[in-house]
Amino acid sequence: LAKTTQPISMDSYEGQEVNITCSHNNIATNDYITWYQQFPSQGPRFIIQGYKTKVTNEVASLFIPADRKSSTLSLPRVSLSDTAVYYCLVGDGYSGNTPLVFGKGTRLSVIA
Amino acid sequence: ETGVTQSPTHLIKTRGQQVTLRCSSQSGHNTVSWYQQALGQGPQFIFQYYREEENGRGNFPPRFSGLQFPNYSSELNVNALELDDSALYLCASSLERGISYEQYFGPGTRLTVT
């Protein structure tokens, strides 16, 4: 399983763009990169997923360089409600042999 | 469409007892995974069931066992409870196996072992 490394915590002011980078140096060819968000006492919630280049949805953007050894989750104009833990996960897309492996995540604190 | 539900919400058990936690998957999902989340840690994978068969297991002892039923609901059973089993237990369902399929998590069951 590809191991991921991400910052333990980040602080940001409301209205700013936040970028959280995740390193996954031993990512495999079939691996996808997925980000989840978790609020206290709730289950994680899917944010975005990608394989290469850039993916954007209504919540976030995901930037993946050509070598795929890292990825950056970008949250535009964060608000207080974006305060949560963000997890970067890497695993085989379709084989079903790779469960979601969560690290400790990045604790994002948004300040007014 | 009903989301993933778990029961009970909270549970207090004594060391050495057994517990059964239940999960109802989202409609149409054939894969369910169970996770243990200790305070301040990320969820740790316990096991996954795909179409009623165990499809993978994390680093948990055999006293953690599970079942998935034909209607794709599932159970997590823990025998001989230990104090370290105190945690939030999460189940997640998905359309198919594989990380590319979004996992939908339930709200969790908070287990306290005294």
| CA-based nearest residue in chain B for residue A87 | B42
CA atoms within 13 A on the CB side of B79: 6
Q: Nearest by CB to A34, which of B31, B56, B99? A: B99
pLDDT digits (tens, 9 = 90+) for A10-45: 999 999 999 999 999 989 888 889 999 999 888 999
pLDDT tens string, chain B, 114 residues long: the values are 568 999 999 999 999 999 999 999 988 899 999 999 998 889 998 999 989 998 888 899 999 999 999 988 999 999 999 999 999 999 999 888 776 678 899 999 999 999
Chain B nearest-CA distance from A48, in A, is 9
CB B64 within 8 A of CB B47: yes
**Which residues in A lie closer than 8 A to residue B35 (C-beta atoms)?**
100, 102
Contacts of B110 in chain A (CB under 8 A): 41
- Beta-carbon contacts below 8 Å between A and B: 83
Q: Verify whether the Cβ–Cβ distance A92 to B4 is below 8 Å.
A: no
